[in-house]
Structure 1
Amino acid sequence: MEIFKPINEKKAKGKVKNIFSEIKKTRKISKIPNFWRSIAHNPALLERTWNSLKAVMKDGALDSVTKELIYVAVSITNSCGYCTRSHTFAAKKKGATDQMIKEMIDVVGIANQNNKLVEAYQVEVDKIYK
């Protein structure tokens, strides 16, 4: 259960209302997700987080689908169910297929397994990788 009740989108004012409008327009959605409504209790945090997300998640050397899939992978590893769901939805909206998502989950699984094995065995990094 949330610590603070999410801000009612219809009651948002000032900076929060403006950012909510920009989020809806940019993400092509009709309702503000709970994450944004929850952090809106701190308008400076809302603005900073939104601006950072826009800057990082736009197309660059990596396309936006790849970035969404990376976001999902990190969310799975960090056990953030909310982020896993919301960014899987975003990845699909941007063109990710179910097969892409399944393969990404396989990569997350094997990477986490092998990372744990490397840590457990305290494997020294090979000279070629340094």
Structure 2
Amino acid sequence: MTDMSSDSLPQIAIAKVEVEEGVPYSAERELTPWFNHPPHLLWGHFYRAACTETLGDDWKGAGFAVCEPSEVERVERVLRDAAQSANQAFADHVDRLPDPEVTKVLEGITAASNPLDDGPYALPPGPPTRLD
């Protein structure tokens, strides 16, 4: 690997979790994660996978979780832990790529970072259709 490696990847963390009331006449809360750095599309795939694995049906494909009010703190922790899991899975994936692909990924991440926009950033839309 060249000097362009997964060590150059930003560590994405939860900047905030937005908690809103769920659908009318429901006690459920909707928790939407917002991130400190624009997430790469594939990072989003790993994040969704970690959330789905831990939260099951309480993780919604649109990028938020639902829970009872008494579970908000626990679900927030799960969302934060999922970001760390996604960071590791994304870094492992990047480490397996050939150098030219690593360069493309890192250049894309750099291009997505607007120095005038300090976030927070939403989860990228939809899961990718391919992992390579």
Greater length-normalized contact order (CA 8 Å, ≥ 6 residues apart): 2
Structure whose alpha-carbon radius of gyration is higher: 1
Q: Same fold (TM over 0.5)?
A: no
TM-score (norm 2): 0.27
Bigger strand fraction: 2
